[in-house]
Amino acid sequence: IQVIQKFLSPREGKILLEQRATGRFFSDPRESDGCCNFGEYPLAFAACTNQKDTFDYLVQCGANLDIFTSNQRNILHLLVLHSVHRPQQDSDSDFFESAAMEDQQEDPCEWCRDMFDHVQKHMMEKGIHDEMWNARDVEGYTPLTLCAARG
């Protein structure tokens, strides 16, 4: 968290909270072998990599909980996508995802459920839970219907 504090302490820190990761590498799963589907924003990245302390710190610094990716997915949608168990692959393309998740020994479903609840709690406190819960992505899914569709 000390490194994040250094980035956010200058005047432009608030701008960095809202900075999106854009470009084909981040939006086309074929470019990154799908390893960069972490939500395009620092807050979404913290949630999708189970970094609760970082997530809480970013919220405390003013990061918006009502962010949407270019696919109109919010953080709840993204956590549903990350909860699906993916078999380990032996390719270098999974390096970034493996590095981000390396300290997590539990099943993705377990930590995603825990983080999902954590994010929902923050959304309820901000009064945006219902809006985020009912938001539809580009495929027309809410977080709940996306969960049902992905099994």
Q: DSSP string covering 8-60, please?
A: HSSTTHHHHHT----SHHHH-HHHHTTTT-S-SSHHHHHHHTT-HHHHHHHHH
Q: pLDDT of 59-68, one tens digit each?
A: 998 999 999 9
Whether the per-residue pLDDT at 28 is higher than 80: the answer is no
pTM for the predicted model, two decimal places: 0.76
Q: pLDDT of 70-81, one tens digit each?
A: 889 999 999 998
Q: 39 is in which domain, residue-wise? A: 2-150
Q: Give how many domains the chain has, as a whole number.
A: 1
pLDDT at 33: 56
pLDDT at 108: 65
Most confident by average pLDDT, 27-36, 68-77, 88-97, 104-113: 68-77
pLDDT at 86: 54
94 vs 49: CA distance, rounded Å: 14
Q: Check which CATH number belongs to the domain holding 32 and give it.
A: 1.25.40.20
pLDDT at 98: 52
DSSP secondary structure string for all residues of 74-142: -HHHHHHHHHS------SGGGHHHHHHHTT--S-HHHHHHHHHHHHHHHHHHHT-HHHHHH---TTS--
